[in-house]
Amino acid sequence: MQILAFFLAIMLLVMNFGCSKPLANPNLAYPKIIYDKDRDTHIIPVDFSRTFENRFKILYATAPNPALKEVRFYFSDFINNKNDDFRIIPSNTATPSYDITLHIEGLFDTHNTSLEQSYVIPIMTFNPPYTQNFDGLILKLLEE
């Protein structure tokens, strides 16, 4: 029992210090970011939109694209398979996770682009607003 308590104490310390990272720079002029919540197909926890916005701003600060004027995003196909709420066949994974699809629309000076990607994010590793799961799709948009 003492070993378990020690392990949990260490994990709490690591998670606490891991969460002390700064958020995105509030002084940078970002493109307009719109969370199109009305297009979500399910009720989405607010942590996902906050994570997307923070990660977008951090990545935009390191790789800006001045042609990008507006970013719209929404989520679909959300399942928290910890609860197996909407599954016809229950999940057989040992670790519970979120299944979610991210949709991004980028409005540029000369064109518009739409991207989407599905994710399986283990609940234990989801650390809003710092989780980097959406980074690949965001970088793809910034490279347009």
Q: Over the stretch 60-107, which tens digit does the pLDDT of each residue have?
A: 998 889 899 999 999 998 888 765 544 444 445 567 888 999 999 999
Please count the structural domains in the chain. Answer: 1
Residue 41 within any structural domain of the chain:
yes
Give the range of the structural domain holding residue 39, as residue numbers without chain letter. 24-142
Residue 88: the pLDDT is 46
Cα–Cα dist 69/114, whole Å: 14
Provide the whole-model pTM: 0.74
Residue 72 within any structural domain of the chain:
yes
Q: How confident is the model at residue 53 (pLDDT cuts 50, 70, 90)?
A: very high
Cβ within 8 Å of residue 83, ≥6 positions away = none
